[in-house]
Structure 1
Amino acid sequence: MTLADTTTPAAAPGRAALAVLLLGAVAVSFSGIFVKISELGPSATGFHRLFLALPLLLLWQGVEARHQTKAPARPQALRDFWILALPGLYLAADLVCWHWSIRLTTAATATLLGNTAPIFVTLIAWLVYGQRFRPGFVLGLAVALGGVAALIGAVHLDMTHIIGNLAGIGAGITYAGYIITIKAARERFSTAQVMTWTAVSGLVVMLVAALVSGESLVPMSLRGWAILVGLAWISQVGGQSMIAWALRHLPVAFSSVSMLVNPVATFFLAWFLVGERLTPWQILAGVVVLAGILIARLYSERRG
């Protein structure tokens, strides 16, 4: 399978898969709030996001193996293990960038920048695989990048916010890699297998990142543990698993557009739950980014 194959839209994507995808995106939207109020540092929070998800994922994998009439494919060759581990490496890089972005800027801004992944998916298709796009894609890309530039300078020009915004863009780039690799893994392995392997390979990287940055791995209160459990079970196991399942039944291009509900939901959650307020300029810049992504994705679905 080539990346170009992943950007070919299905003629009639299943309604159930679309509903699951949207529900998963909303569940993932809560992660920005959990990270914002976590008692631990960004990398340590990311470690527990994957570590605390493992028991549920392993239980799910065991139930799946017992109840399926056809046993799920098992990794055998070294290439199989690499296919299963690679999404976790991308996810870990995404979480490091995104969690730091949330701490250094607002949850809504970090999530919006992290959702520039559709742009980078199609850029990879163009630069690496030679896929050609209509001029409308270039227009959408220019609009989205212009909105990103406006968003970066919308609040403060101090170094903290600049680094936070750049980390958000880094999250968008690495999440694009995660979407591409998890789509490839789901072509051969079950959702439970992919999510379990993703958590295992990702948490190793997150543990190293937390230790290198000197972050504590133990919350100070039961509330701190509850936040981490909510992040792991609601956003990681629930949200990411629903997205992974839906990606098996929907084209990645269509999915990327549908998942734009994520930054919108995060904006409202951050507003009502943690009191984050966006300026009119930020809101306008965010709308421009979303519009650019939508235009680019619509035109990227047709080869020029």
Structure 2
Amino acid sequence: MTNQLKLSEQQWFKTPAIVSTALFLGVIAISFGAIFIRWSEYELSPIATVFNRFWLGSVVFGLWHSGLTIRQWFWGDKSVQQEAYTRQDFLLLLGAGTFFAASLVLVAWSLTQTSVAISTVLHNLAPIFTSLGAWLLFSVGFNRQFLIGMVIATGGAIAIELDQLGGATNNLLGDVAAIISAVFLAAYLLVVEQLRTKFTPMTIQLWICAIATVVLFPIVLLSGDKFFPSTFGGWLAVISFSLVCQVLGHGLLIYSLEKLSSVVVSLFHLLEPVFAGVFAFVIFSEKLSFSHWVGFAVVLIGLYLVVSSQAAVHSSQKRRSGSRSIFINIC
């Protein structure tokens, strides 16, 4: 029997307004990623740009964590949480950093092998894999409204690229890479959802950025790409990329995973190409087609059905804490 994700009225009025707003703002921040990558492409490859995003994020969260630790040592601040790490915690943190780095590398590489439209559509299949993972690993069930909203939102995301799919050229390896990137993104969200039962967003971000930096270093080294920018504009691009997309954007997404399921968060990711297109229209004067606006409206309708569904939020902390051990045992 599956566990239906239910939410009492009292819980509903406590969580959705703030958490959903945080998630929405987080997706907006992440949507600037395409702008920053395009800004830095005059000096760095996309993979090198992502590498800089993570090592700069490691510095930010490392300094933040050190400041909190020093404050506790010298001022005895009891509000600073001291987490005791277990073997399961290390495995989950290692998985989160590796999965996220792999997802970004694969989607960046797929863009060099297949069309942007096809790569975007295939990468946007992440909610399907997230739902499948939640169902297989944690026996999570979804009500009819939730499933209808998910189908509508995914269809809207595909509609955004509809006008480009007709003349798009594809490469099988590029298509496969985009699909696998969606699988890794789903795995990343499922793992972080479990980590949020114990750790703060800052702690999770520190580990993710550090692990992703280690994973990406040999990839950039073997590719022969330049590691760091050499001009002020290049540094401004990668610093903005890290602060806006990683520190702020993913910080808000990870925060929202304490109350919202990884499936809901993955569905909100469907808004990323929508906002990216709007920002490109404003900054680079790129035209937005009719399918963009239709897709935007359809995605919003689907997300409204998902978030208003009782399946959008976890039923209790007990189910989630228990799923941590299930996830580790299966892995």
Normalised TM-score (structure 1): 0.79
Give the Cα–Cα distance (whole angstroms) in 1 for the partners of residues 220 and 300 of structure 2. Answer: 32
Equivalent residue number for residue 11 of structure 1: 12
Is 1:209 matched with 2:211? no
Equivalent residue number for residue 35 of structure 1: 37
Equivalent residue number for residue 181 of structure 1: 191
Is 1:47 matched with 2:51? yes
- Aligned match of 1:91 in 86, 91, 100? 100
Residues 133 and 178 of structure 1: is their aligned pair in 2 closer, same or farther, counting only changes over 3 Å? same
Give the Cα–Cα distance (whole angstroms) in 1 for the partners of residues 126 and 204 of structure 2. Answer: 20
Equivalent residue number for residue 61 of structure 1: 65
The 8 Å contact of residues 114 and 168 in structure 1, kept in 2 or not, is answered as yes
Residues 17 and 281 of structure 1: is their aligned pair in 2 closer, same or farther, counting only changes over 3 Å? closer
Pick the structure with greater CA Rg: 2
Name the count of aligned residue pairs.
Answer: 298
Residues 223 and 109 of structure 1: is their aligned pair in 2 closer, same or farther, counting only changes over 3 Å? farther
Equivalent residue number for residue 256 of structure 2: 246
Shift of the alpha carbon at 1:290?
A: 6.7
Give the Cα–Cα distance (whole angstroms) in 1 for the partners of residues 262 and 289 of structure 2. Answer: 32
- Aligned partner of residue 227 in structure 2, secondary structure: coil
Residue range with higher mean Cα deviation, 117-126 or 175-184: 117-126
Give the Cα–Cα distance (whole angstroms) in 2 for the partners of residues 268 and 44 of structure 1. Answer: 25
Indicate the RMSD between aligned Cα atoms, in angstroms: 3.7
- Give the % identical residues: 27
Is 1:72 matched with 2:81? yes
Is 1:200 matched with 2:210? yes
Equivalent residue number for residue 247 of structure 2: 237
Residue range with higher mean Cα deviation, 276-285 or 197-206: 276-285
Give the Cα–Cα distance (whole angstroms) in 2 for the partners of residues 271 and 38 of structure 1. Answer: 18
Amino acid at match of 1:50: F
Give the Cα–Cα distance (whole angstroms) in 2 for the partners of residues 78 and 185 of structure 1. Answer: 13
Residues 35 and 155 of structure 1: is their aligned pair in 2 closer, same or farther, counting only changes over 3 Å? farther
1:128-183 Cα distance to aligned partner (Å, 9 max, x none)? 444444566666666667667774762533236x7666544443322211111112
Equivalent residue number for residue 318 of structure 2: none
Equivalent residue number for residue 100 of structure 1: 109
Normalised TM-score (structure 2): 0.73
Is 1:227 matched with 2:237? yes
1:178-220 Cα distance to aligned partner (Å, 9 max, x none)? 1111121121112211100000111111122222333221324
Q: Which gives a bigger RCO, structure 1 or 2 (Cα 8 Å, sep 6+)?
A: 1
The 8 Å contact of residues 112 and 286 in structure 1, kept in 2 or not, is answered as no
